[in-house]
Amino acid sequence: MGTSNVMRALALATVCLLQFAPLVVRAQSSEPEEIVVTARKRDESFRDVPMSVSVFTEQAIESAGIQKPGDFISLVPNMTLVETQNAGNAFVVVRGVSQARNSEPSVAVLVDGVLETNPAEFNQELFDIQQIEVLKGPQGALYGRNAIGGAILIRTREPTDHFEGSVKVGVGNGPAERAQVAASGPLDGSNQLKYRASVNFYNTSGYLDNVYLHEKADPARDYSGRWRMLWKPNGEFTGDFRISADRLDTRALYFVIPRSNEANPFSTFTTPPDANNVSTPITADPDGVNIRDLLNTSLKLDFNTGYGTITSISAFEKTREILTGDAFDFRPSATSIFKALLGFDLNQSQFLNVKAYSQELRFTAPKVGAFSWIGGAYFVHTDRFISTGNMVDTGAGVFPIYYDPRLTGPNPSATFLADTQNNNAWAVFGDATYELTNQVEFDAALRFDRDSRRNTTDTPTAFLPDPSAHTGEVRDHTWSKLQPKATLRYKPEDNVTLYARNSSSRSGPPSGWICMRTSATPTARSPGWRIRK
């Protein structure tokens, strides 16, 4: 079933169920709600977690108007989001740790306990969200690969015991429109089987002017939906099935590179660009497209054995993105640098297709006296194809390039590169906590990761820039890393936490911290100070 068909089915199911769902208005308590977080893969109070955590509850998300990742990232100290080129290229920077284009992320992102295996998934609409936790600093001991900078844990709203529904609509400048519909409740009389369905629509004409094409450079239209089923026949078993889909239709590659003399294309190379100079208008030609399709499914099973809880999380993810547009130096053909050098201008296309299967098994032991622990194993298989290249701009527009270069017709390929990756990674991990006293706690976590990658060159021989390379060339390598983490926590008062931590990330040296965090009231931020040694 295609992504668009999945979204239509989700929307139809939501609207149909909403017709039978009486609206429930929930009263707000005057007492602050205790915030429960899962930073250490188990439920515990936000006040007790010995790490730098920013928590956005459902109420905080609503009050702050959080609708995309950039909205909550802008509220987290020492954290920024760099959005560039296209929707899938959104880099999270935590304490100066970033990433490169088309590479692995430096911050692990988990939605309902499922790791996003490709950074192109991250920058999407946030709707019907229960809570967001932002963990700063190396988190590899529990979250493994791609957690050198930290981790972001997103939890969607769970099905409810009683029927309820909501409808939200809004308009904004641009112009822009947004609509969200959600419905939830039981599917049987005993509340053993419950559902939650939600859909989101966003549309904008754009905000940035392309003065050459006399239109907006950044229009966007997004359709997304989510369906969740929760089955709890007894106190010993819970099944949680989730499926979500997202389709984004926008544009990309409308960069601006300032020139000191617009009439001289070569002044681009002699004048250092000024990031604070925004006077140069967008003149990219042609406008191009950026279409991204996301599909995510997962099945979580919890078995309460009496000796502890066994958790199984099986997931499948699919990401497909095509983007086309103007090429360097993003000027109309008549005044472009390549027109001056080669006699013709260039445009470009990039295609990404990723499929991933993952499985996590985890055992969470109940607290016995002062001791508690968890242990688990994780496996992920990823298939990735990516192609990128330039075409001769003959004035016929820009054509998307997928698996093969364009050899005939207008806009033939001038350059083309493509490769396939077949990756397998597995890990075992554990975390143990011991309360030395009512105020002092020691926590130790350890994870071993092994990552095997196989890269195959799919570029046709005629387009290979290196004469020694050949189509079908295979490169493979395996990495492994042991990632320990130790934390000593001291709580002199309920709303004050002092902790010392030492950890080693997958790709960095060990780091040590002595920190204090205050949390007198549950808020989106956790103020405090820290000393790094």
* Per-residue 3-state assignment (H helix, E strand, C coil) for 405-441: CCCCCCCCECCCEEEEEEEEEEEEEEEEEEECCCCEE
DSSP string computed for 37-52 = E-TTSS-EEGGG--S-
- Model pLDDT, residue 508: 47
Q: Residue 20 above 60 pLDDT?
A: no
Q: What is d(CA 326, CA 40) in angstroms, rounded to the nearest whole number?
A: 45
Phi and psi at residue 69, to the nearest 5°: -55, -40
Nearest Cα to Cα of residue 155 among 63, 35, 267: 35
pLDDT tens by residue, 62-86? 999 999 999 999 999 889 988 888 8
Q: For CA atoms 331, 334, 339, 341, give the dihedral sign.
A: negative
In whole numbers, what is the pLDDT of the chain averaged over residues? 86
Q: What is d(CA 485, CA 432) in angstroms, rounded to the nearest whole number?
A: 11
Nearest-5° Cα angle at 448, 111 to 146: 40
pLDDT tens by residue, 171-229? 988 789 999 999 999 998 888 999 999 999 999 999 999 999 999 999 999 999 999 99
Q: Residue 19 above 50 pLDDT?
A: no
Residue 111 contacts residue 296 (beta carbons within 8 Å): yes
Average pLDDT, integer, range 387-411: 94
Where is average pLDDT lowest: 158-172, 206-220, 263-277, 382-396?
A: 263-277
Residue 194 contacts residue 229 (beta carbons within 8 Å): yes
**Domain extent listing, the chain:** 3-21+41-532
Average pLDDT, integer, range 262-276: 76
Quickly state the pLDDT bin for 144 (edges 50, 70, 90). Answer: confident
Q: For CA atoms 124, 322, 151, 446, give the dihedral sign.
A: positive
- Give percent above pLDDT 90 in the chain: 62
* C-alpha dihedral (9, 12, 13, 18), degrees to nearest 10: 160
- Model pLDDT, residue 502: 78
Phi and psi at residue 456, to the nearest 5°: -120, 130
For the segment(s) 3-21+41-532, the CATH number from 2.40.30.170, 3.40.50.300, 3.40.50.880, 2.40.170.20 is 2.40.170.20
The pTM for the full model equals 0.87
Q: What is d(CA 401, CA 144) in angstroms, rounded to the nearest whole number?
A: 35
Q: Residue 26 above 70 pLDDT?
A: no
Q: How would you classify residue 87: left for phi > 0, otherwise alpha for psi between -120 and 50, otherwise beta?
A: alpha
Q: How far is CA 344 from the centre of its chain?
A: 38
- Model pLDDT, residue 45: 87
Q: What is d(CA 129, CA 122) in angstroms, rounded to the nearest whole number?
A: 15
Where is average pLDDT lowest: 170-184, 222-236, 259-273, 293-307?
A: 259-273
Q: For CA atoms 148, 150, 155, 156, give the dihedral sign.
A: negative
- What stretch of H or E contains 71? helix 69-73
Quickly state the pLDDT bin for 520 (edges 50, 70, 90). Answer: very low
Q: Residue 257 above 80 pLDDT?
A: yes
What does the block give as tokens for 278? 């925004």
Q: Residue 362 above 60 pLDDT?
A: yes
pLDDT tens by residue, 469-493? 899 999 999 999 999 999 999 988 8
Per the DSSP assignment, residues forming a β-bridge with 272 are none
Beta strands in 277-416 (DSSP E): 290-304, 309-326, 345-364, 371-393
Average pLDDT, integer, range 233-244: 95
Sequence-distant (≥ 6) Cβ neighbours of residue 216 within 8 angstroms:
205, 206, 207, 208, 209, 210
- Model pLDDT, residue 533: 31
What does the block give as tokens for 37? 């977080």
Average pLDDT, integer, range 319-335: 94
Question: Which segments of 254-348 does DSSP mark as H helices, in order?
Answer: 267-270, 337-342
